[in-house]
Amino acid sequence: MANTPQSEKRERQNERRQDVNKARRSRIRTFLRKVEEAIASGDKDQAAAALKAAQPELARGITKGVLHKNTVARKMSRLSSRVKAITA
């Protein structure tokens, strides 16, 4: 429970940031899901396009502090290798 005006303001700011971060995380997951679905369908061109669209979103997640840079690097690496492995 916030006791000081400063801590009350901090609580309000944290709630607003939580909503923004939740929306951003959800948006990133949507992009990742599209890549996963394209990989599952076996369409290499569609998977490559979905990955290309997802990469800036993942990078934005790093700069906004939603995701850790090593997590994003790992996800990008694994997805790109899976896309590359699809036989054309």
Section 33-59 average pLDDT? 95
Largest CA distance in the chain: 62
Instruction: Output the pLDDT for position 87.
Output: 73
pLDDT bucket at 2, cuts 50 / 70 / 90: confident
Residue pair 53/30 in contact by the 8 Å Cβ criterion: no
Q: 55-69 pLDDT, tens per residue?
A: 999 999 999 999 999
Q: Where are the domains of the chain?
A: 5-85
CATH number of 5-85: 1.20.58.110
pLDDT bucket at 88, cuts 50 / 70 / 90: low
Average per-residue pLDDT for the chain:
95
Q: Identify which of 64, 75, 87, 81 has the alpha carbon closest to the alpha carbon of residue 32.
A: 75
